[in-house]
A = this chain, B = another copy of it.
């Protein structure tokens, strides 16, 4: 980075970013991780996160007039989670422009999902300060539009236990029964094996994971896959 803050060579945009900053210092700050220095991007991230959530909420509200509130929440969660934002950031090559402290640089921080997602949110916040709410919302929409259009079926956004329960309830069947079969390993590396029993399958299905909750979800997912496979026979 240039030492002179009035250098004409300062970056005002990034390749692929459909926004040109009037104030390059804002973009610079958005790309600065707190490990790098005092003027870092955490406050901008707070602002950009709020703008992002609002923009996506308004788009989903408008474009999914029949979706109940719960579905809107799930769709938004999918779009604003770190994983999605980090993908968008990677497509923009954001990692190459991040300003990280030496520790983060060595540990590959420029690849970390949360750092990339936070920087993208900070860019949204910087655009809000730079160009106002309408242009910043347009930027958010431009970057998220492909994901917005490609949202999976609403039901697939629910977790496996919820989906399994709804599947069974819709058919008037009993709720699934979860049971912890085995707990093993030391405290810091515990493993839970859970069985899930449902009326429509002959035998219980088992799954193992690092927490009881995760093992139950994994078992429910396995049951759903088993049911699907049997239906396709």
Contact = CB atoms under 8 A, between A and B. Distances in A.
A67 B46 CA distance: 11
A50 B56 CA distance: 9
A69 B45 contact: yes
Contact of A133 (B45, B61, B133): B133
Q: How many monomers of this chain does the complex have?
A: 2
A42 B54 contact: no
A54 B61 contact: no
A35 to B, nearest CB: 15
A57 interface: yes
A47 to B, nearest CB: 5
Contact of A43 (B42, B72, B134): B72
Interface in A61-83: 61, 67-69, 72-73
Given A46-B73, A53-B53, A133-B133, A128 B58 contact: yes
Of A58, A68, A128, the most chain B CB neighbours within 10 A belong to A58
A56 B46 CA distance: 11
Contacts of A49: 57
Interface string A126-170: 001000011000000000000000000000000000000000000
Interface string A6-37: 00000000000000000000000000000000
Contacts of A198: none
A42 B47 CA distance: 25
Contact of A46 (B50, B72, B133): B72
Contacts of A54: 50-51, 53-54
Given A43-B68, A43-B72, A51-B54, 4 more contacts: A46-B72, A46-B73, A50-B57, A51-B57
**Pairs A-B, 6 closest by C-beta atoms:** A50-B57, A54-B54, A42-B69, A50-B54, A46-B69, A47-B61
10 contacts: A46-B73, A47-B57, A50-B56, A50-B58, A51-B58, A53-B53, A53-B54, A54-B54, A133-B133, A133-B134
